[in-house]
Amino acid sequence: MKKVFLSAFTALLLFSCQNDQTTEASNPEASAIALRGCASQDVLTAQLKADPTLAIRMNQIEAFTTEQLLSGRVGKLVNGKVQIPVVVNVLYKTAAENISDAQIQSQIDVLNKDFNALNSDYNSVPALFAGVKANVGISFVLDKINRKSTTKTSWGTNDAMKKTAQGGLNPTTPTTKLNLWACKIGGGILGYAQFPGGSSATDGVVIDTKYFGLSGSGSAPYNLGRTGTHEVGHWMNLRHIWGDANCGSDLVSDTPTHNTANYGVPAYPHLSTCSGTPVEMTMNYMDYTDDAGMYMFSTGQKNRMAAIFVTGGPRAAFGI
């Protein structure tokens, strides 16, 4: 399952030039139900075009991450853990979009289960991947809920929901708190996140109201809170498992090379046609499968996430 790491610069070029929207026509196994759509890569591409210095910062983060992985220092945080305070910003036009406190808490609960290997389907990981399935060991606590009534029917992906001046809500203390925005995104997008290195003024994760948490307006097959898990993975510097390119690299050594995104709940084993024809890790949170089809992070992903929280990392302020 070992993958060749791209250089930070080459990886950044790859990420900025690829579009992560894959059509149903190129994925015959995809169901007629709307496909999972994550706009994180598209948003990153737009940010790189708007801010030439972002590429420099992200290259520095990749170099730092690689150094931490090679040194074996990742995971050795002060007190050995990270607890993330979460601020949830609810933007609503309709009563259904004004999701309840209980629905918000259910998303926090899902994050805590998925990032601590407490999800009920964790033991469904096939034997082939059992040796690399990981307890990430990062926890989340609800810090505050902000609510705002708006006239917008949808927000798109230009970060307007993160700006009070544009009718949204500015992030609260984004250097030490994870901000989530719950709103109607539109365009078939379930959510998107900002990778480490971006502006603190837009830092955080956006999740469409219909796919936030477990209850209320949750819409199957994306009603188990895994959109939040997937997007927070991006916020912690994880890439899509197929590397946003055919047989691309996600910069993680223990995830198999995927042809492209997977949808639905693929039958196991699902073979890649990439070099070595590996069995794809379709149950990984960073694929595009249904919520019921994703239930693991790998050890390599855990270490990559841990690297951003160590001293000198882009999210070191979150370490406790």
CA distance 140 to 100: 18
Burial 95-114 (b: 16+ CB within 10 A, else e): eebbbeeebbbbbbbbbbbb
Q: How far is CA 235 from CA 6, 15, 197, 274, 309, in A?
A: 20, 15, 10, 28, 12
Coil, strand or helix: which one is 138?
strand
CB 30 within 8 A of CB 264: yes
> Which residue(s) pair with 141 in the sheet?
85
CA distance 44 to 47: 5
CA distance 242 to 245: 6
Q: How far is CA 268 from CA 37, 216, 256, 313, in A?
A: 23, 32, 14, 37
CA distance 314 to 148: 30
For the annotated catalytic residues, the residue numbers are 231
Dihedral class, residue 211 (left if φ above 0, else alpha if ψ from -120 to 50, else beta): alpha
125: DSSP letter: S
Q: Quick check: bond before 269 cis, omega within 30?
A: yes
